[in-house]
Amino acid sequence: MAGLDKETRQLILSTLRRYAESKLVPEYVLNLDHEDRFPQEVLQELYDPSRLGLHLVFIPEEYGGLGGNAYDIYCVSELMAGVDLGIATGLLATFLGSDPIKVGGTPEQKSYWMGRVADEALLMAYGATEPQAGSDLAALTTRAEPVHEDGVLKGYRITGRKQWISNGGVADLYSILALAPGGPSWFLVEKGAQGFTHGKPEDKHGIRASNTAALFLDDVYVPADHLLGSVEGQGLVQAQAVFGYTRLMVGAFGLGAGWEALRRAIRYSQERIQAGAPLSQKQGYTHKLIVPNAARLEASRAYIEWVAERLDAGEEGYTTEGAVAKYMATEAGNRAAEDAIQALGGYGYTKEYMVEKIKRDVRITTIYEGTSEIMEWTIARDRWQWHLKTRGAYYQEWAGRLGDVHRKEPENGADAASLALCALGAILERCRLDRLTRNQHVLFRLGELIAYAESAAVFAERVSQKPTEAICLDVPTRQALARIFAREAALKVAVDGLRWTVGAGQTFPGLPDLLNLPAIYQAQEGLVADMDFAAQQLNLAFGG
Ligand SMILES: Cc1cc2nc3c(=O)[nH]c(=O)nc-3n(C[C@H](O)[C@H](O)[C@H](O)COP(=O)(O)OP(=O)(O)OC[C@H]3O[C@@H](n4cnc5c(N)ncnc54)[C@H](O)[C@@H]3O)c2cc1C
């Protein structure tokens, strides 16, 4: 998908930034958090076409939108998450809620409903989760009973309950997953439909400016043309089909919130004098609390941009890649926010300094749109198949390509990333020979190692070839971050891989040699110097 041209995207982002700087200032969002209040007026202003018309970014041009693509969604999501993740969630719930229409609707349904979302700036909600069906959506019990008149299907009566629905108490239009006789299916339900009510807003740990509520459907009648796609049983396939995009969006939330926390920590560290010098000059501080987080966040950015590029080129699927992007970026964002609290010491633990709120907010990103554990599972299952199908060649060949990158551009960390992929291939093969993935824990840990190794590889491949425009860090700084991350990934794959394969009973005594541990330790050479350089550059880029 072509998406917005660069000028339009920059215009939207700068307008959004200006709006945030004037209205969504720290005092305002802290107050929303304190009062646990959903700011309906902010969403109205953001959707108002005469001001921002932000919802139009996510609507294809043929239905009156601006036709933003995955890259645009990532940029807007990152920016909004840095401002307030609760408001970002409310905003993006419309995008999520309209996805079943975009993916599964008939041409008439798309035209009618997407046109209405665009023109009337309808707030939407996405109703999939139920009290007993979260990660396992197939366990859903909300039912849609067909209503026939004179042998003709006229509509459905929907009965059931939805749980934790963003915008649940405030939306105008809801996409609801329900079990029809033909299987799980998406239906559209309008606010105010008879028998359709919602619970009180949940009292949440974070994203308190977003409205989250349960939905109750008691014999709610919808006409037959509210069944998306007009064919029953497509619901789970349609839900799967959008994961590449939606998980990218939540990944961008992790990135935006994590970087906002880190930027605050960097600024603070320059002002805070301890033992005669600013904290920003102290290795024990920067090399623990700042630099590794910047490296992880930027590795996940590289992966997000890579997935967005593939999706925008019209390539199908990318569910697994969306999972890697979400997993790495949200875990990195959560960790960065946690370390930012530590970086601000006692001030970090108080509300006024914001990082405490960011930490509570970003925590949700490792839970909604698929938990981190479900991501690990998704990644491991898919790549395990690739390992089997290619008889182990998948990662060995990728490692070879990285060797070529390293010969041309030795500054990118491609050598360490290549070691990570080689070690990963060896671990996967050992798991196959000893049948270790029968242990669920081993399989999930493989998911984590795969995500680390692939992120290191993609970061090394792109860092100088496709430098990002989304952050003000020059190529040498990002190359240092790529090297730092690749070293971490290689060590993690080898050491954790060994731990879990040995722990699960692997039988080959020479496995440590196969993983090339000496080379992986040798690749750590230069790590502290790279961290010195990265710390200095981050101070320059984000100083007060
Ligand atoms: C603030 C908020 C907003 C939300 N917004 C929406 C929304 O707009 N629309 C919507 O439909 N949903 C929404 N959700 C629901 C969210 O997507 C689910 O909470 C999430 O998918 C996890 O489901 P669950 O809560 O039922 O947890 P469970 O699935 O019960 O998981 C509990 C724990 O068990 C782990 N686990 C689950 N299955 C397995 C397994 N097979 N093996 C090993 N471990 C496993 C999980 O990783 C997790 O750690 C929202 C949730 C929250 C909290």
pLDDT in tens, 325-383: 999 999 999 999 999 999 999 999 999 999 999 999 999 999 999 999 999 999 999 99
- Range with lowest mean pLDDT among 44-48, 175-179, 301-305, 504-508: 44-48
For ligand 1, pick from 96, 124, 132, 135 the residue to mutate: most ligand atoms within 8 Å of CB.
Answer: 135
What pLDDT is recorded for position 65? 94
Tell me the chain's radius of gyration from C-alpha atoms: 24
Please determine, for residue 317, whether its predicted confidence score (pLDDT) is greater than 80: no
Whole-number Å distance between alpha carbons of 498 and 511: 8
Picking from 333, 370, 372, 367, the residue whose alpha carbon sits closest to that of residue 82 is: 333
| DSSP of 123-185 | -EEEE--BTTBSS-GGG---EEEEEEETTEEEEEEEEEEEEEEETTTT-SEEEEEEEETTEEE
How many Å lie between the centroid of ligand 1 and the Cα of residue 324? 17
The response to whether residue 134 sits with its C-beta less than 6 Å from ligand 1 reads yes
Tell me the torsion sign for CA atoms 89, 332, 10, 460: negative
What pLDDT is recorded for position 408? 96
Check if 298 is active-site: no
Section 41-54 average pLDDT: 90
Q: Which amino acid is at 238?
A: Q
Atom of ligand 1 nearest to the CA of 373: 47
Could you tell me whether strands 212-223 and 183-190 are parallel, antiparallel, or unpaired per DSSP bridges?
unpaired
* Res. 170 pLDDT band, cuts 50 70 90: very high
Burial of 64 (0-12, 13-18, 19+ CB in 10 A): middle
- Angle at CA of residue 322, ends 320 and 323, nearest 5°: 60
The response to whether residue 367 sits with its C-beta less than 6 Å from ligand 1 reads yes
What pLDDT is recorded for position 123? 95
How many Å lie between the centroid of ligand 1 and the Cα of residue 43? 26
For ligand 1, pick from 129, 441, 445 the residue to mutate: most ligand atoms within 8 Å of CB.
Answer: 129
Mean model confidence pLDDT for the chain: 96
Whole-number Å distance between alpha carbons of 379 and 97: 25
The response to whether residue 165 sits with its C-beta less than 6 Å from ligand 1 reads yes
What pLDDT is recorded for position 386? 96
Please determine, for residue 151, whether its predicted confidence score (pLDDT) is greater than 90: yes
Distances (CA, A) of 486 to 216, 479, 483, 533: 48, 10, 5, 16
Whole-number Å distance between alpha carbons of 135 and 529: 43
One of 298, 331, 369, 461 is an active-site residue; which one? Answer: 369
For 210-254, the pLDDT digits (tens) are 999 999 999 999 999 999 999 999 999 988 888 878 899 999 999
| 3-state secondary structure (DSSP) of residue 15 | helix
Q: Which residues contact 486 (CB under 8 A, 6 or more apart)?
A: 413, 414, 415, 416, 417, 420, 456, 459, 460, 523
- Burial 145-180, CB ≥16 within 10 A → b, else e: eeeeeeeeeebbbbbbbbbbbbbbbbbbbbbbbbbb
Whole-number Å distance between alpha carbons of 101 and 136: 22
The response to whether residue 164 sits with its C-beta less than 6 Å from ligand 1 reads yes
What pLDDT is recorded for position 316? 80
The response to whether residue 129 sits with its C-beta less than 6 Å from ligand 1 reads yes
How many Å lie between the centroid of ligand 1 and the Cα of residue 340? 26
Section 41-66 average pLDDT: 91
Whole-number Å distance between alpha carbons of 298 and 303: 9
Could you tell me whether strands 212-223 and 173-180 are parallel, antiparallel, or unpaired per DSSP bridges?
unpaired
Q: Do 98 and 118 meet the contact criterion of CB atoms below 8 Å apart? A: no
* Res. 301 pLDDT band, cuts 50 70 90: very high
